[in-house]
Structure 1
Amino acid sequence: MPESQRGVVLGASAFFFWAVAALYWDFLSAAAPSEILAHRMVWSLLAMCVLLALARRGWRWLPGVLRDRRTLLTVAAAAVLISLNWWGFIYAVSSGQTLQASLAYFVNPLMSVCLGVVFFSERLRPAQWVAVGLGVLAVAVMAVGYGVMPWLALLMASSFAAYGAVKKSVPLDGMQSLTVETLVMFLPALGYVVWLEATGAGTVFSVSPGHSALLAGSGFVTAIPLLLFGMAARKVPLSVIGMLQYITPTGIFLVGWLVQGEEMPPARWLGFGVVWLAVCVFAGDQVRGARTARRERGTAA
């Protein structure tokens, strides 16, 4: 199999894995979202250590990061933002609001480009402005469909978009950065888990061995798609990754609608229809932009 095709398969696998992870958190419904999040943080550090060992990356880079106050504070901010996003996703799935998680990841690319305009002085093309406007309209329609503003979806989308913006200034690759992020959150998360068990509110030993195993496996559920994504990103253009990323919200939507049986009244269908239109406009503009860039490079060469 050619490297480009292999990269597409790896990338699609990563995004598909992230989509079906919605079912994984649903299996842990006996635990509160905050407890699941704490375990995810604790076990993610172990998973990242395993991945670093398998990739033979070593640890020589870590002392320098820990001595660099600016980098450490930036990574700590990223850790707080991704933890907030993880909590929102876990809460959405465990409370029967998986469709809000789907909406969040459809809207996220649009929110990311808005942050680029506000904080990085990036300029949007006309089609991108149209996509952003359609995204705002979709949120308004979904607010009517839900009867309230979809705050959970907006929380997840904004926290992940902000996470991406913060990561632009982190001088580490994805694997190193996530390792430090989980390291920053490890002690608070471990302390919370210990406190839950000491007060009898924890579920590690009170539900079943299977439940305990699923809590421990949460770190690898986090790390495995990250590894697949990292491998794919080195083999295919970012424009292809940008198209593949919509596998995740589409899969989450199908899980919420078909598997978990969430209701889809007409207003919600209309809201998702508008956001899908926004995604099509945005994705089409990305494809045209990538083709134009290739032609310009070819002309320059």
Structure 2
Amino acid sequence: MTGTSHTETELRRQASLGAIAAGGGYVLWGLSVIFYKQLDHVASLEILAHRTLWSVALIAVLIIGLRRKAELVAIFRDKRTLATLVLTAYILASNWFIFIWAVNSGRVLETSLGYFINPLVSVLAGVLILGERLTRAQMLAMALATIGVVYFTMSLGFAPWISLYLAVSFAAYGYLRKVTRVGALEGLFIEVLALMPAAIAYLAYLSSHGGTGFAHDGWYTIFLLMLTGPMTTVPLLLFTYGAQRIRLTTLGLLQYLVPTTSFAIAVWVYGEPLGQGQIVTFALIWIGLAIFTFDTWRRERELRRMIVA
């Protein structure tokens, strides 16, 4: 009895630590808006190049320190997995670039909208690619999100292409990484390694055509550009640690911390305008997400009951 009680206590402790870690990772991703805003004087492509190079350096140290070299070598021997990771690398790079560019162009609200839409786009991908069936609640959530995007387009006169691209590209990235059985750390290392030649080539080009922000904008800019590595890797490690210890429903709820944090920063820190078009759009998507999340929680609870029975 004591042994069982001790096991349950340990499981609860691990779940609590997992929730804190995953939540912390998501909040850091949300707060990264403020971080990248400090680099708005540096070209977005240069920031992306530095994010790649400093991530390579940091993850290499972590792989050596955590003794994960064997797992990394195994990936290099699997040509199909390697090819998939090269593809995901460029999908991820495009997502990073649009995000950085949008933040530094004063369009943080649109990035927030994109990451609110992302879970629903992932569900749609499951329908189109895997032939999954939508529940009525999921169909209602998808319909509300679609109406929200259409309303945004009609009221403001342009489609929220930043939001849509971030949502679709991240959903595609998530799907490909899900079907590619590699560790988060090793997979990210291969991805940034695949991007490294292009990053070096671009920085070399800038150096020979007027110079880089890293070389000319002072120690504060240098420090921030070096931090792009930890700002990429640390949230991922926290997320991975948490994901291994908490339920999928909990993880799904926590993911909304990213766009919620970005939304709050956009409105209350940077004063981005929140007109009627944005308010209605966000309201429709929030209602859709609430329905979607409740449906996911209800179905997971029923599944657990069936397993116990």
Q: Structure 1 length normalisation: TM-score? A: 0.96
Match of 2:4 in 1: none
What amino acid maps onto 2:109 in structure 1?
L
**Offset at residue 123 of structure 1 (A):** 1.5
Q: Distance in 2 between matches of 1:154 and 1:193?
A: 29
**Residue 62 of structure 2 corresponds to residue 51 of structure 1:** yes
Which residue identity does 2:154 align to in structure 1?
V
Partner amino acid for 1:174?
A
C-alpha distance in 1, partners of 2:110/2:156? 10
Amino acid at match of 1:100: E
Number of equivalent positions: 298
1:68 alignment counterpart: 78
Which amino acid is the alignment partner of residue 120 of structure 1?
L
Alignment match of 1:8 (pick from 2, 9, 19):
19
Q: Distance in 1 between matches of 2:61 and 2:141?
A: 40
From 14, 31, 49, the counterpart of 1:38: 49
Structure 1 counterpart of 2:57, one-letter code: L
Aligned to 1:281: 291
Residues 190-199 or 77-86, more deviating: 190-199
**RMSD of aligned residue pairs (Cα, Å):** 1.3
> Which residue number corresponds to residue 87 of structure 1?
97
Partner of 1:200, secondary structure, is coil
Which residue, out of 214, 217, 221, partners 1:207?
217
Does structure 1 residue 160 correspond to structure 2 residue 140?
Answer: no
Aligned to 2:33: 22
Amino acid at match of 1:180: I
How many angstroms apart in 2 are the aligned matches of 1:51 and 1:76? 21
Tell me: CA distance 1:131–1:230, structure 2 relative to 1, closer, same or farther (3 Å).
Answer: same
Q: What SS does structure 1 have at the residue aligned with 2:208?
A: helix
- Amino acid of the structure 2 residue aligned with 1:125: T
Q: Which moved more, 1:282-291 or 1:64-73?
A: 64-73
**For the residues of structure 1 that align with 2:79 and 2:116, how far apart are their CA atoms?**
35
TM-score (norm 2): 0.93
The amino acid across from 1:33 in the alignment is S
Aligned 8 A contact 1:197 1:203 in 2:
no
- The corresponding residue for 2:188 is 178
- 1:146 matched residue in structure 2: 156
CA distance in structure 2 between the partners assigned to 1:166 and 1:49 by the alignment: 23
Runs of 4+ in 1 over 4 A off after TM superposition: none
Q: Which amino acid aligns with 2:62?
A: L
Which segments of 5 or more consecutive residues in structure 1 lack a partner in the other structure? Answer: none
Distance in 1 (CA, whole Å) between partners of 2:207 and 2:39 is 16
Tell me the equivalent position of 1:131.
141
